[in-house]
Structure formats: structure tokens, C-alpha cells
């Protein structure tokens, strides 16, 4: 896929991130390790993503003198996981921005149609003034992310980013067509979707692997 035509899309090139994504792709990786690594991946991606946060100068005093130094207004950051799988990334991301607000959007894909079904939405009241970081490990057809962004926009969110771990080209295209104004951060861009709309090579069902419900 030629990413040059999608300036809002960023795919990580960090070797540690690639290494950790390989661990969670492996079917031998069990729930406890899977959860731990998903959070580590979220922290690594977050470090890159938060690079663009605005800072504001404040006056402080070091033990030696008065000075003006930059701080980020962490309360203006809102992290929104798409349930269930997005929950697995919250801790890793929040570690970097501990005062951020957290909202929730619950969506599952209908097993036959693969279309998103939204069942929960709980967002902070003043989301209009916040920069939103929507998180979900998987961007497959793009349906769930697109639906969640429509919901965020309906609630007044203006500055939105989407962070995923694995994406399929089909989902990236659908996402960028619908929301070219939303910045998309991807850990690994995979080959394609299979006939059941699972990502290849992918990592299987992220929600089931994070929550231990695959058997
Ligand atoms: C998975 C995943 C995304 C969605 C991606 O959720 O966590 O939300 O599928 O697929 P899409 O891009 O084709 O919409 P799932 O439906 O398995 O729900 P769960 O997280 O509750 O298990
Ligand atoms: N949802 C997942 O959890 N995995 C996929 O490969 C596609 C959608």
C-alpha cells in the first residue's frame, strides 16, 4: 500500500515495537504475557504519538533560580478505548499521561455482517475542549473505528487521533476516505483481510486474547 497519499497515517518503524508485536502475533503467547506486552506496546506507541502535544510555559523555581519551563496540560487529554480490546491498551498509555481523562465506547462486530454494533458510550462532559486519543489494537475493515469517531464527533470532539497496533490496508483506506482529518497511528501495517474480515497475518481476535475468552 502506498502511504504517500495518506499524510494523516503514521506507521511505526521502531524495532522494539516490531519485536513486541511479533510476540503477541505468536499463537503460543498466553493471556498474561499478551496483556503485559499489549500495554508495553501502548506505552511505546504513546511515546511517539504524544510527541505532538502542545506545551505551555509556567514559572517555577529550581533550587538555584527562578525560571520559565514547558508543561503539558494533561487534563486536556482524553483517552478513549473501544471496548473490549481497547481496554488492554489503557494502562500503558495512561502511565505516560496520568492526569488524562478516560472515556469509553463499546462496540462489537456483528459476526455475520462484520458491521459495528455500538452498545455503550460514556465520555467526559467537556470533550469539546480536549484532544482525544481513541485506542483499539485492531483496524480491520475500519468499521468500528469509523463508528467510534462519528460518535466522538457527535459529542463535539474536534481534535481526534486513532492509535492501533495492527491494521489492514482495507481498513486504512476506508478510515482515510471517511476521516482524512483524523491522525492515524499504526504499529504494524499487515497484508490483507481474510474472508471472515480477520487481519492476515494479524494476531487473531484481540478482545478474546486480552480477556482470555478464546476457549
Ligand atoms: C475487534 C477489534 C476492533 C474491531 C476491528 O473487536 O477490537 O474493535 O474488531 O474490526 P473492524 O475494523 O472490522 O471494525 P470485536 O468486534 O472482536 O469486539 P471485542 O473487542 O469486544 O471482542
Ligand atoms: N478484530 C480482531 O480482533 N482481529 C482481527 O483480525 C480483525 C478484527
32 or 75: which leads in pLDDT: 32
Q: What is the pLDDT of residue 112?
A: 94
Give the span between the Cα atoms of 18 and 32, in whole angstroms: 19
What distances in angstroms separate CA 135 from CA 88, 145, 213, one per listed residue?
9, 9, 20
pLDDT at 98 over 90: yes
The model's pLDDT over 156-169, given as tens digits with 9 standing for 90+, comes to: 999 999 999 999 99
Instruction: Single out the residue of 106, 107, 137 nearest to residue 24, CA to CA.
Output: 137
67 is catalytic: no
Cα–ligand 2 centroid distance for 18 (angstroms): 18
At 82, is the pLDDT very low, low, confident or very high (cuts 50, 70, 90)? very high
For residue 109, the ligand closest to its alpha carbon is 1
Q: What is the pLDDT of residue 214?
A: 85
Q: What is the pLDDT of residue 212?
A: 95
Q: What is the pLDDT of residue 207?
A: 97
The model's pLDDT over 104-154, given as tens digits with 9 standing for 90+, comes to: 999 999 999 999 999 999 999 999 999 999 999 999 999 999 999 999 999
Instruction: Single out the residue of 39, 11, 25, 38 nearest to residue 162, CA to CA.
Output: 11
What distances in angstroms separate CA 137 from CA 190, 192, 195, one per listed residue?
13, 16, 20
Best residue among 203, 208, 209, 211 to mutate for probing ligand 2's pocket (most ligand atoms within 8 Å of CB) is: 203
Q: What is the pLDDT of residue 215?
A: 75
Query: What 3-state class would DSSP assign to 1?
Result: coil
Q: What is the mean pLDDT of residues 65-81?
A: 96
- Give φ, ψ of 151 to 5 degrees: -65, -45
Q: What is the pLDDT of residue 183?
A: 98
Helix H segments across 95-205? Answer: 143-154, 169-178
Amino acid at each position: 500500500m502506498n502511504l504517500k497519499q495518506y499524510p494523516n497515517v503514521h506507521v511505526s518503524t521502531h524495532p522494539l515495537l516490531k519485536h513486541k508485536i511479533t510476540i503477541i502475533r505468536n499463537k503460543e503467547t498466553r493471556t498474561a504475557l499478551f496483556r503485559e506486552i499489549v500495554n508495553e506496546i501502548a506505552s511505546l506507541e504513546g511515546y511517539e504519538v504524544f510527541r505532538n502535544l502542545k506545551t505551555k510555559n509556567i514559572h517555577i523555581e529550581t533550587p538555584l533560580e527562578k525560571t520559565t519551563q514547558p508543561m503539558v496540560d494533561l487534563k486536556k487529554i482524553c483517552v478513549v478505548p473501544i471496548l473490549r480490546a481497547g481496554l488492554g491498551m489503557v494502562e500503558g498509555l495512561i502511565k505516560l499521561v496520568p492526569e488524562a481523562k478516560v472515556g469509553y465506547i463499546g462496540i462489537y462486530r456483528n459476526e455475520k455482517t462484520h458491521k459495528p454494533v455500538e452498545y455503550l458510550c460514556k465520555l467526559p462532559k467537556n470533550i469539546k475542549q480536549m484532544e482525544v486519543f481513541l485506542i483499539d489494537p485492531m483496524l480491520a475493515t475500519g468499521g468500528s473505528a469509523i463508528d467510534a469517531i462519528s460518535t466522538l464527533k457527535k459529542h463535539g470532539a474536534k481534535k481526534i487521533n486513532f492509535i492501533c497496533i495492527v491494521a489492514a490496508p482495507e481498513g486504512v483506506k476506508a478510515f482515510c476516505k471517511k476521516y482524512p482529518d483524523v491522525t492515524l497511528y499504526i504499529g504494524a501495517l499487515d497484508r490483507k483481510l481474510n474472508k471472515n474480515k480477520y487481519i492476515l497475518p494479524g494476531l487473531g481476535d484481540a478482545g478474546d486474547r486480552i480477556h482470555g475468552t478464546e476457549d
